[in-house]
Amino acid sequence: MAVTSSSSTCDGFFIISLIVVVSSLFGASSAQLNATFYSGTCPNASAIVRSTIQQALQSDARIGGSLIRLHFHDCFVNGCDGSLLLDDTSSIQSEKNAPANANSTRGFNVVDSIKTALENACPGIVSCSDILALASEASVSLAGGPSWTVLLGRRDGLTANLSGANSSLPSPFEGLNNITSKFVAVGLNTTDVVSLSGAHTFGRGQCVTFNNRLFNFNGTGNPDPTLNSTLLSSLQQLCPQNGSNTGITNLDLSTPDAFDNNYFTNLQSNNGLLQSDQELFSNTGSATVPIVNSFASNQTLFFEAFVQSMIKMGNISPLTGSSGEIRQDCKVVNGQSSATEAGDIQLQSDGPVSVADM
């Protein structure tokens, strides 16, 4: 991988351009993905994705964090195949019903808008799984974070895996060892755990995702001792004991809508919002602690590691060649109708969250 850092800045943040030599990093299966996959069939695909997200950001400042979370939750279940996007049908149990996704994952409407724009420009060409990969890069770079060359050529899965979503997605209440095990299970490592957690540098979290830390942490009758006392007081006001738990606050206290390394400096001062975030720094002796410290002191190092981790994650078991399909509608397998279209109640994706309302 050849890495070049631009001396210019965008909103005060470094932009890193990466030219990926695929064969040096990945095996044969992921090498089927390449950066020029749509150059002859839909050359403006990336620009269409980016412009649609720019428009969405005008009315929803947190949509970038929401979109990157869709890519994350998709790739950890069945690989990066767009299975998360599928609605319930008579034969499919949607992954949207999993506890980590139900009334939590959001941004599906923006994915649909991107798909519509792409279908208008180049019908039947760009997969929904590639839309998630492109949307993640655009969301990060538009927030002042790094830019990278997205590898493309994924195809869309023909089914969903609700049981896999129930068991494979990390929870904000899990310990670091369990979370690391879930990353390792899909071919990622400890550095990837820390760098990808850095996506919490933008987005939001709802009370239900961190109220376990506020009053009776692990049954002790006291708050989480690793939670900064000033932050604790403000969160207790936002999320009172026996309250509705519907309050929302920023994952990054200092620069909530910018992609930077402040997430890591927050952890150093015990200002991580989620238990799963703070454990990266407060779990004494953990291999994650020196990585947090290095990213906190060097934003460029974080950006470089984040890009590498995103590329690795985007290469988890992609469908390529003649496998899967190119969905015409990201919500349904071609030739099928969703339960919503059949008249059932639609799953709410923009309501209360179960993990982090990014």
Tell me if 350 is assigned to a ligand binding site. Answer: no
In 3D space, the residue among 303, 301, 244, 232 whose CA is nearest the CA of residue 270 turns out to be 232
> ∠ CA 170-255-243 to the nearest 5 degrees?
60
Catalytic-role residue among 62, 73, 155, 312: 73
CB 195 within 8 A of CB 146: no
**Among the listed residues 177, 171, 193, 172, the one whose alpha carbon sits nearest the alpha carbon of residue 285:** 177
Closest CA to 253 of 281, 280, 234: 234
H or E element that contains 16: strand 13-19
| Residues whose CB is less than 8 angstroms from the CB of residue 174 and which lie 6 or more positions away in sequence, other chains included | 276
Q: Is 225 a known ligand-binding residue?
A: no
- Check whether 74 is labelled as a binding-site residue: yes
Element holding 115 (H helix, E strand): helix 108-121
Is 352 annotated to bind a ligand? Reply is no
Is 201 labeled as ligand-binding? Answer: yes
Q: Tell me if 260 is assigned to a ligand binding site.
A: yes
| 170 known ligand binder | yes
Looking at residue 83, the DSSP 8-state letter turns out to be G
Please count the helices (runs of H) and the strands (runs of E) in the chain: 14, 4
Q: What is the residue type of 237?
A: Q
Query: Does the annotation count 71 as an active-site position?
Result: no
Q: Does 252 belong to an annotated binding site?
A: yes
Asked if 104 contacts 343 with a C-beta cutoff of 8 angstroms, the reply is no
Residue reference for tokens 């003649």: 322
217 Cβ contact partners less than 8 Å away, ≥ 6 residues apart: 223, 224, 225
Asked whether residue 79 is marked as a ligand-binding residue, the answer is yes
Q: What is the pairing mode between strands 248-250 and 13-19?
A: unpaired
Whole-angstrom distance, CA of residue 187 vs CA of residue 218: 30
Is residue 11 a known part of a binding site? no
Kindly state the tokens that stand for 118.
Answer: 């792409």
Q: Is 200 marked as binding a ligand?
A: yes
Spatial distance between the Cα atoms of 324 and 153, rounded to a whole number of angstroms: 12
Instruction: Say whether 119 counts as a known binding-site residue.
Output: no
The binding site comprises 74, 77, 79, 81, 83, 95, 170, 200-201, 252, 255, 260
The binding site for Ca(2+) comprises 74, 77, 79, 81, 83, 95, 201, 252, 255, 260
The binding site for heme b comprises 200
The catalytic residues are 73
The binding site for substrate comprises 170
